[in-house]
Amino acid sequence: MSSQSKPFRIAALLLRFALGIIFLYAAWTKLSQPWELFAMAIDSYGLLPLRWVEFVARTLPWFEAVIGVLLIAGIFLRTAAVATSLLLAVFFSLMVRAYAKGMQINCGCFGAGEVISWKTLLRDGSMLAAALALASMSFFGRRKKSAAGY
Amino acid sequence: MNMKLCAVAIAALLPAVAAVPEIDPGKAMGNPSAPVTVQVFSDYECPSCKLFHDTTLPTLMHDYVTSGKVYLVYRDFPLPMHKYSRQAAGYACAAAHLGLYQPVADALFKNQASWSNSGKVWETVASVLSENQQKKVQTMSVSPDVLGEIQRDEAAAHRENINSTPTLIVSRGAKKYPVAGGMNYVLLQKLIDELAK
């Protein structure tokens, strides 16, 4: 993104750091608690069989941590930004579905004890918008670089 | 030397005491020195609490409470959206003072659909009590002691940031974990087993 204007680069940097810190925090809240708590949150969505619930509960926090590190470090940025957008799109759709169905369940976003509400939807929706903006910026920056002959 | 031992024992017990405050023995079941404590924050008028009471709780009692692995503590958390749940909590707490918590709680959950529509909470409670017990429960249910107990349970719920029922606080010493929403019993078992190790 080095060929971009300064405000563009600052915006991209802020988005990277904000999302990176949020993902690291989300990973830490899950990894610092027994995995069963996150598994119960996943299970309450009623979508996966138990063995998949266990698999996701044990692996997803580590995946979130890796994404957080990649975003902050700026390594494999396009891949990390796309992965962040996809992950948040999945989280957001599942939360919207649960909310629309009136399910009073723990969202599983940042550890245990946070019931899905319009506030959690607003927060995750904003994060998804930020991730999509970052992904577009990373691809837009790449096209600019190619056009400039880098 | 004995004083030193005493001080060490008290210091070792402090985190556990801090983790589970103010227990009414009438609303607790099992061995108080069990490795794991499970506090159940519940509302008598909440349908999910009825489901938990009817399905998960008997299995939890059978597998962990009677075997001495879990100390189970009931906490009242009447939600403002439920018209009669505070009244029901008052009767259940009063019954707990007479050692009659379980039959009253069972009757309230069993007939939830009926009294939550008709408002006939007392009739439901009275059906499992003798005449003498009825008099005592009715008087005690509005006593400062019982009302204070319910307020203490509510304060404990607010301290734990609980905003839905049923919510369990599964703890061992200073380690405390909230379990809310749909509770998968297999996963709850794994959590308790891991804490009990």
B185 vs A contacts (CB less than 8 Å): none
ipTM of the complex as predicted: 0.78
- For residues B73 and B170, what is the distance between their CA atoms, to the nearest angstrom? 10
Q: What is the pLDDT of residue A145?
A: 57
Q: Calculate how close chain B gets to A28, using CA atoms only, in Å.
A: 15
From the list B161, B182, B191, the residue facing A105 with the nearest CB is B182
Across chain B, how many H-helices and E-strands are there?
Answer: 10, 5
Task: Give the Cα separation of B56 and B59 in Å (integer).
Answer: 5
- Residues in B touching A53 (Cβ below 8 Å): 184, 187
Interface probe, candidates B48, B186, B187, B195, chain A, greatest A C-beta count within 10 A: B187
Asked whether the beta carbons of residue A113 and residue B180 sit closer than 8 angstroms, the reply is: yes
Q: Is the minimum CB–CB distance between B93 and chain A shorter than 8 Å?
A: no
Distance CA A135, CA A133 (A): 5
Whole-prediction pTM:
0.80
Would you state the pLDDT for residue A60?
97
Per-residue pLDDT of chain B (197 residues; tens, 9 = 90+): 455 554 554 444 444 444 555 778 889 999 999 999 999 999 999 999 999 999 999 999 999 999 999 999 999 999 999 999 999 999 999 999 999 999 999 999 999 999 999 999 999 999 999 999 999 999 999 999 999 999 999 999 999 888 888 999 999 998 999 988 668 899 999 999 999 98
Q: What is the pLDDT of residues A95-104, one digit of tens each?
A: 999 999 988 8
Which amino acid type is present at position A132?
L
The pLDDT, as a whole number, for residue B129 is 96
Cα separation values, A124 from A20, A80, B183, Å:
14, 17, 24
Rounded distance between C-alpha atoms, residue B153 and residue B43, angstroms: 11
**What tens digit of pLDDT does each residue of A15-43 get?**
999 999 999 999 999 999 999 999 999 99
For residues B194 and A34, the answer to whether their CB atoms sit within 8 Å is: yes
Residues whose CB falls within 8 Å of the CB of residue A122, separated by 6 or more in sequence, listed in order:
none
Strand, helix or coil for residue B103 = helix
Residues 52-71 of A with CB under 8 A from B: 53
Q: Name the B residues in 163-182 with CB < 8 Å from any A CB.
A: 163-164, 167, 177-182
Q: Supply the pLDDT for residue B138.
A: 94
Measured between beta carbons, which residues in chain A are less than 8 angstroms from residue B77? none
Element (H, E) at A59: helix A50-73
Asked if residues B58 and B74 have their Cβ atoms less than 8 Å apart, the reply is no
pLDDT value, residue B2: 53
User: What pLDDT shows up at residue B33?
Assistant: 93
pLDDT reported for residue A4:
65
For residue B91, report the phi and psi dihedrals to the nearest 5 degrees.
-65, -40
Min Cα separation B141/chain A (Å) = 31
CB contact under 8 A, A33 and B179: no
Nearest to A68 by CA among A94, A30, A125, A119: A30
Residue at A4: amino acid letter = Q
Residues 6+ apart with CB under 8 A from A120: A95, A107, A109, A114
A43 touches chain B (CB under 8 A): yes
Which residues lie closer than 8 Å to B19 by C-beta, 6 or more apart? B37, B171, B173, B174, B175, B176
Q: What is the CA radius of gyration of chain A?
A: 17
Pairwise CB contact (< 8 Å): A34 & B188: no
Q: In angstroms, what separates the C-alpha of A50 from chain B's closest C-alpha?
A: 9
pLDDT tens by residue, B133-158: 999 999 999 999 999 999 999 999 99
Integer-rounded Cα Rg, in Å, for chain B is 17
Mean pLDDT, residues A135-150 taken together: 67
